[in-house]
Every structure is written in C-alpha cells, then in structure tokens.
Chains A and B, each alone.
Chain A
Amino acid sequence: GQQVMQIPQYQHVQEGEDFTTYCNSSTTLSNIQWYKQRPGGHPVFLIQLVKSGEVKKQKRLTFQFGEAKKNSSLHITATQTTDVGTYFCAGRGKLSFGAGTTVTVRA
C-alpha cells in the first residue's frame, strides 16, 4: 500500500511552545486526514485536506496539504497539556496511516 511516513516519531514540548509534525507520502494522495489519539483512547478524526496547497485551521492547530499532494503538516501553537496524544495522518484511497507523532508536554 501507500507508504506514509511521519516525523518526528516523538515530540517533547514545553507548554506554551509551538511545534510542527510532518507527513510524507511516496505517492500522490487524493486527500489526507489527520486523527488524534489520546493516551488509552481511540483515534478521533480532526480534519481532511483535499486540495493542493490547502490550509485549514482549528483554533491553535494549522493543517497544510503540500502543493504536490505528497506531504502534509500539522502545526500547533502555544501547546497545552490537552494536546498530549498521538497524531496520525492517513492517506485515503488505499488507506495507509503513518506511524504517528506522540506528543508529550512539559508543564
């Protein structure tokens, strides 16, 4: 199936700082979805990007789809303890999830 790589695998963030996690595909994606999994929980849908270069915001979260539709990023500003969890990107079609970026926050 499609190979979707996420970097970094782990992100340790000081509360209040910003960070970005990246999702790279070996093939062009029809769309990309982002999910969040809290510790002990199940993945929950955050957002879907469809258009080349698309940017969407959800409060402190900014999602971007690359121009070539082969990569995406999630940028979180002013990280809070509620942001703790693992963030997955997923390329639909022949669905493939990245391994995720696990975020921990230092208060």
Chain B
Amino acid sequence: EAQVTQNPRYLITVTGKKLTVTCSQNMNHEYMSWYRQDPGLGLRQIYYSMNVEVTDKGDVPEGYKVSRKEKRNFPLILESPSPNQTSLYFCASSLDKVAYEQYFGPGTRLTVT
C-alpha cells in the first residue's frame, strides 16, 4: 500500500530536549516536505526536499532542521524545542514539486511544555 508514515504520532516533551520526528514514504517520490498546522493558520511549509541531499527552507524554518540522506526518509529535527513549536506536523511526498499531488502522512501532534 502506497503510504507516508510518521513517528511518533503523539509526543509530549519539555523545552530544550532534542527530538526527531521520522517520515518515510514507499512511493519512490523525489519531493518531500514538512508542514505545521495551527488553528486559523492552515498548513505552513517548514522545509522541503527536491531529492536526496537537496533541502530548502519553506515559510517557517526557524527552529527546525531536516536531512535527506535516503530518498524514502525525511526526518524533522527540533534541536531545542520551545512551546511555540507545539503544533500538528505533517510530512508529505510527491513525484515533484509542481505538477503532482501530495500524499500526506497521518500527522504528529507535538506538545512542548
């Protein structure tokens, strides 16, 4: 089954404790991206990757890091989480950046206290 998986689905952590949210897709997609969703703000792109070892900032990259060492994986790293990073996070993948639909993962709800 074609899918995007994310782990963990729920995470409660404390300020400053480094964490990683994993994202994996099995569709051989080149394009992957991370979004955060906050009430009233919709989906805002954090980072995206056009292919292995190619990443770029989205609209709200501050406080986040990503890596793309393999085509299927695109982890999101919060080196020092802060309460304003409490949000619902979605990973998505697509054949490319422009012309194809994005497939979204199930989401990770993160709470930083």
Contact = CB atoms under 8 A, between A and B. Distances in A.
Interface of A: 1, 6, 9, 30-31, 33, 35, 41-45, 48, 88, 90, 92-93, 95-100
B48 A95 contact: yes
Contact of B43 (A30, A31, A97): A97
A42 B45 CA distance: 15
Contacts of A30: 98
Interface residues of B, number: 23
Contact of A99 (B35, B42, B97, B99): B42
B45 A44 contact: no
A31 B102 CA distance: 13
B36 to A, nearest CB: 11
Mostly helix, strand, loop or mixed at chain A's interface? loop
Contacts of A48: 101
A43 B35 CA distance: 11
Given A1-B59, A42-B107, A95-B97, A9 B43 contact: no
B97 A93 contact: yes
Contact of B42 (A33, A45, A97): A97
B102 A45 contact: yes
Contacts of B59: 1, 96
Contact of A97 (B44, B48, B99, B101): B44
Interface in B58-113: 58-59, 90, 92, 97-99, 101-107
